Structure 1
Amino acid sequence: MAKISDIKASKILNSRDDWTIEVELFLDDGVSVKASVPEGKSDGSHEAVSADVETAIYNIHKEILPTLRGLEVSDHLALDNKLIELDGTNNKSRLGANAILAVSIASFRASAQSRDKPIWRYIKEVSGLQSFGSTKIYANLINGGKHAGNNLDIQEYLVIPKTENIKEAADIISRIYHNLGTICIEKYGESATLVGDEGGYAPSLDNNLIPLKLIKEAAGDFEIDLGIDAAASGINMSKEKLMKIYREMVSAYNLFYLEDPFNEEDFPAFKEALLEFGEEVVVTGDDLTVTNTERMRIAKNHKSINGIIIKPNQIGTVSEAIRAVQKAREYGWSVIVSHRSGETNDDFIADFAVGVGADGAKIGAPARGERIAKYNRLLKIDEEK
């Protein structure tokens, strides 16, 4: 089997004009692949820790490459475990989660390419995970919170087409997005269609419910569900006020998806939401759980959630992200694989979502090149099946 012969790291700009890492990994059979890593803005405090870019690049060249050179790329668990052991911390803070993840993604990609398989199919094989239907697109059409320069407290307003046909879903999202832009201009002027970090429109509005009204109007007769990512750890509002908003959203707009409704440490508050809304709403942990199986165990014991966000850069290796999905399925939770607000054109996350059989892929609005890359990869995967 092919062995790692070289790794070259460099810095590139991400979608927020911040520096991030790109690696090129070489195998002794002539295969070479590239991988780059995203970063979040509203990070959970328990996420794996990234190093500054220059330090991460140095660590790849001086520590990671000498450790991995000559190892078979197919043994992902061994490779990722070596990276974890080499780092020696419980949060990847010595070598940097960005350095470790870039190499981890590249190794998966190289192994798939050397086998002449699309990476989603390769991940499906090595993970042993089964899908429960097609992966649906969760599209963030209105941005707020830390992702936009407006007055909205809620960070993401999502539309989720009900169809399991990925081409139909992408077309529906595109049409709603264009309709929404027209409505925003008519009601609030041209500036209302300025976009946030994830490509969604970023209008300033009178309250946190209006975005759902606008999206519902733009959707017309399309069959969709609505959702939000509150990212409530960044909201200066009482639990009682937040819960009042969520009740209104569920009542008025049949809210289907509710992510991070309360502070990342408030497991009991998540439980209250789950008890009140029951199975009608997917109460989802992101900052609460940070793709970390120990945090997931706590959430399970508290009966806090019935859905989870999976972000490989929260934990630092592809293998650990796969284990988090496996554990989520063991718990009976919905799984939504997500991009980050500071993205690159790397489309690995689309392959990962399909490969692990995720219920949803949260990839932003159909705007900005780094988001479109994920849409187009999902469309291509649909052709490869």
Structure 2
Amino acid sequence: MSNSEISDVQARRVWDSRGLPTVEVEVRTRSGGLGRAIAPAGASCGTHEAVELRDGGDRLGGKDVSRAVANVEELIAPALRGVDARDQCGVDAKLDGLDSSGAFRTLGANASVATSLAVLHAGAQSTGVPLWRHVADTFDRAPSIPLAETQIFGGGAHASGRVDVQDFMIMVPGAGSFDESMVVTAEIYRAAGRCMAEQGRLAGVADEGGWWPNFDSNEQALDMLMRAIEAAGETPGERVVISLDIAATQLRHGSGYRMALEGALLDADGFSERIARWIERYPIVAIEDPFAEDAYENFARFRQRTAAIQVVGDDLLVTNALRVREAAAAGACNTALIKVNQAGTVSRAVAALDEAHRAGWRTIVSARSGESEDVSIVHLAVGLGAGQLKVGSFARSERMAKWNECVRIEQALGSKAFVAGEPLTNTWWARSGQRAAKSSSGAN
């Protein structure tokens, strides 16, 4: 009998950053070790992702999770008792075996992911190493400190559709360390608030902590972001660049896309043209979900047109290895967003990440809009060597807990583990910097 064998699994209802109920699971081992994790939840969800289980009805707006909690204690706990917590793949296979739906419709993905992550924590405690190291050892990876992708303005489903684009974000690939990238990000975030206040547009924060997008157009938000970067003492397109999450599934209207702020209905080609113009005008190096979740051909044409930037699949891929493989065959993307709760277990999420890397893609480990103090995804991003991390904005404790955890891990690993390093090693960053230089010299 191993001391790392699971002796008990318990679940409870806790509350996420939107004040909605979610599932927390605790896994105990025979040695007295404890692993604990909380399931996140998304506001903008892909049709094909693993399905969280909610109670329905009138109580808590139908969002209660008592059935998911019961499933952990009545179905999952008996199946996992006696299993070695260090055997992550074995645990996740048992979770798969308890739900024949393939999408955790019976157990609830909120139950399965909280359990899978809690086991990961318990396994790390059993081996006496930090969680990121346990992840690296379990999946045979070289750990690294990821590049942060940070929301400055939150729109779309995160801000009641106040602007069409869901996330206006920055990255600092020109920083020499994660800590330095946080300093730059903090300056830009504060500058954005000041710039909005000066124009009478400061109206609070959105779901993920980004400034509420009190703008009259998407372009006005981009102009304000450029102004904030400059007000922070940076030159847009040098060491600071922009990324956008279009979340186009939320904008789909029939066969086209509705731009609500301007009352326009665009077909796929017109929508592509609109985004391409933004890329030419602003130092944008990554576009997430530029089309709806099943529009493989539109993604592929857009990727060919904008080959130098990251074309990121989220709703298109939903952290599913098979969908990543299909998208790679179609030439639809070059970057996969990895959300562990979309997959339902850690092992499924790693399988999707592996499939993306086999295709030669980059990967971004991502949080959800409904988050908590749980920092598991930071350790996954580091331990798996994912390269990039997206957790929301530079405000609200559920976001800052994750950025701060990355600061701590960098102190342990050293700044040489930061993926950006020499900025010219990032060809997508270099391309943006070259364009900005041409623009500033009048060679546009």
Conserved 8 A contact 1:166-1:382: yes
2:323 alignment partner, one of 271, 295, 301: 295
Structure 1 residue 134 displacement after superposition: 3.8
The counterpart of 1:332, out of the listed 352, 360, 367, is: 360
Using the size of structure 2 for normalisation, the TM-score is 0.84
- What amino acid is the match of 2:375? D
Contact 2:202 2:214 in 1 (8 A): no
In the aligned structure 2, how far is the partner of 1:64 from the partner of 1:150? Answer: 38
Q: Looking at CA atoms only, which structure, 1 or 2, has the larger radius of gyration?
A: 2
Q: Distance in 2 between matches of 1:94 and 1:118?
A: 33
User: RMSD of the alignment, in Å?
Assistant: 1.2
Matched, 1:67 2:67: no
Task: Report the Cα offset of residue 144 of structure 1.
Answer: 0.6
5 Å-filtered alignment, 1:69-148, equals: 69-130=81-142, 134-148=145-159
- Partner residue of 2:217 out of 207, 216, 229: 207
TM, length-normalised to structure 1: 0.96
Tell whether the 8 Å contact from 1:152 to 1:205 is kept in structure 2 after alignment: yes
Partner of 1:178: 190
| Paired position in structure 1 for 2:229 | 219
Aligned to 1:270: 299
Q: Distance in 1 between matches of 2:357 and 2:164?
A: 31
Write the letter of the residue equivalent to 2:223. Answer: K
Per-residue deviation, residues 31-73 of structure 1 (Å, max 9, x unmatched): 1121101000110000001112111111111111111111111
Q: For residues 104 and 210 of structure 1, what CA distance do their matches in structure 2 show?
A: 42
Moved over 4 A (4+): none
- Give the equivalent residue in structure 2 for 1:49: 51
Cα contact 1:307–1:334 (8 A) shared by 2: yes
Alpha-carbon deviations, 1:316-348, whole Å to 9, x = none? Answer: 000111111111111000100100000011010
Matched, 1:7 2:9: yes
What percent of counterpart residues are identical?
34
The 1:51–1:183 alpha-carbon spacing in structure 2 relative to 1, beyond 3 Å, is same
Encode CA deviations 1:126-167: one digit per residue, 9 max, x unaligned. Answer: 112346x64100001101100003531000011001125110
Counterpart-to-counterpart distance in 2, 1:104 and 1:384 = 25
1:311 counterpart residue number: 339
1:379 aligned to 2:407?
A: yes
* Structure 2: tracts of 5 or more residues without a match: 55-64, 258-266, 414-444
Contact kept? 1:285, 1:308, Cα under 8 Å = yes
Q: Which amino acid aligns with 2:88?
A: H
- Corresponding letter in the other structure for 2:154: N
Question: Distance between the aligned counterparts of 1:164 and 1:118, measured in 2?
Answer: 24
1:281 to 2:309 alignment:
yes
Mapped partners of 1:250, 1:98: distance in 2: 37
Distance across 1 between alignment mates of 2:206 and 2:401: 17
Match of 1:36 among 23, 38, 45: 38
Asked if the contact 1:135–1:164 (Cα under 8 Å) also holds between the matched residues in 2, the reply is no
Question: Is the 8 Å Cα contact of residues 154 and 211 (structure 2) preserved in structure 1?
Answer: yes
How far residue 244 of structure 1 moved from its aligned partner, in angstroms, is: 2.4
Q: Where in structure 1 are there 5+ consecutive unaligned residues? A: none
2:172 to 145, 148, 161: 161
In the alignment, is the contact (CA less than 8 A) between 2:201 and 2:214 conserved in 1? no
Q: How many residue pairs end up in the alignment?
A: 381
Please give the alpha-carbon distance, in whole angstroms, between the structure 2 residues aligned to 1:314 and 1:189. Answer: 35
User: What do the CA deviations read for 1:283-311 (whole angstroms, capped 9, x no partner)?
Assistant: 01000000001111110111000011000
Amino acid at match of 1:18: L
- Are the counterparts in 2 of residues 150 and 204 from structure 1 also a CA contact under 8 Å? no
The amino acid across from 1:272 in the alignment is R
SS across alignment from 1:295: helix
- Hey, what's the Cα distance between the residues in 2 that align with 1:304 and 1:93? 28
Q: How far off is 1:195 after superposition?
A: 0.6
- Cα separation, partners in 2 of 1:254 and 1:189, compared to 1, 3 Å: closer
